[in-house]
């Protein structure tokens, strides 16, 4: 049986292959004067609203120079068969993923504001790192003693939020970067560098 530290890990987290970020980083600052007051730390994904009337994943081209990844990096700290999630990337660094006053997932200060999650596999079974042997994993987040995390669309502005209430079911895509990790204590954000496209990779 693995210890809780052995089952703790660091991963990049995406949702249905869209990068995760915060309202305050993704939307124009003018939205927070009224419509989205006090919601800057709410979790969202990098989707853009298209002229076809739907949300599409915002994608960026492979950089021409070495650059920092814009993915959200999270420390999954194991507590038995559940996890708390602490953000390690520059955006929201050190904050925990928990519920804001409206019940939506947000980056909140202090471990006492962290929400506990179960990780569910494709069979809806609770898993830990022991059952995730590959670097890539697809999981559902379930709030402890509550429902699974779904996606809610709001039209003003066009953006998604995430909560354990009615909405579209989603899967979270993990790229596991480190295993058997003790809780990070430093003030330095977790950084992954993306290498530029090599000339031979452009060849047909």
Here the CATH number for the domain that contains residue 77 is 2.80.10.50
Say whether pLDDT at 61 is over 80.
no
Element (H, E) at 115: none
| Residue in this structure with the two tokens 């979270």, named with its chain if needed | 172
pLDDT given at position 203:
47
The pair of structure tokens assigned to 121 is 């596999």
Asked if residue 18 is part of any domain, the answer here is: yes
Asked if residue 140 is part of any domain, the answer here is: yes
Asked if residue 201 is part of any domain, the answer here is: no
Whether the bond between 60 and the residue before it is cis, its omega within 30 degrees of 0, is no
Asked if residue 1 is part of any domain, the answer here is: no
pLDDT given at position 157:
80
Asked if residue 47 is part of any domain, the answer here is: yes
Report the number of distinct structural domains present in the chain: 1
Range of the domain at 125: 9-53+68-181
Asked if residue 163 is part of any domain, the answer here is: yes
pLDDT given at position 196:
78
Averaged pLDDT for residues 116-145: 96
Closest-CA residue to 76 (of 171, 193, 176, 144) = 176
The pair of structure tokens assigned to 56 is 């599409």
Per-residue pLDDT reduced to its tens digit, 82-110: 999 999 999 899 999 999 999 999 999 99
In whole angstroms, give the CA distance from residue 126 to residue 57. 28
Query: Which segment, 4-8, 14-18, 159-163, is predicted with the most confidence on average?
Result: 4-8
Averaged pLDDT for residues 109-121: 97
Averaged pLDDT for residues 113-125: 97
Asked if residue 165 is part of any domain, the answer here is: yes
Asked if residue 193 is part of any domain, the answer here is: no
């Amino acid at each position: 049986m693995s210890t809780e530290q052995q089952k703790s890990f660091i991963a990049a987290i995406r949702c249905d292959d869209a990068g995760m970020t915060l309202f305050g980083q993704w939307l124009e600052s003018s939205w927070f004067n009224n419509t989205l007051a006090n919601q800057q730390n709410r979790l969202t994904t990098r989707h853009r609203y298209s002229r076809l009337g739907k949300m599409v994943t915002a994608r960026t081209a492979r950089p021409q120079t070495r650059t920092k990844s814009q993915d959200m990096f999270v420390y999954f700290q194991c507590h038995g068969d559940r996890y708390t999630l602490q953000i390690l990337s520059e955006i929201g660094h050190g904050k925990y993923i928990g519920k804001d006053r409206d019940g939506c997932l947000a980056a909140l200060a202090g471990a006492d504001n962290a929400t506990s999650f179960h990780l569910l596999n494709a069979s809806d079974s609770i898993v830990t790192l022991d059952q995730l042997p590959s670097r890539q994993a697809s999981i559902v987040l379930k709030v402890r003693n509550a429902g699974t995390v779904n996606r809610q669309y709001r039209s003003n502005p066009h953006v998604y939020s995430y909560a354990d209430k009615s909405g579209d079911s989603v899967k979270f895509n993990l790229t596991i970067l480190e295993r058997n990790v003790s809780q990070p204590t430093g003030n330095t954000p977790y950084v992954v560098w993306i290498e530029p496209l090599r000339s031979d990779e452009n060849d047909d």
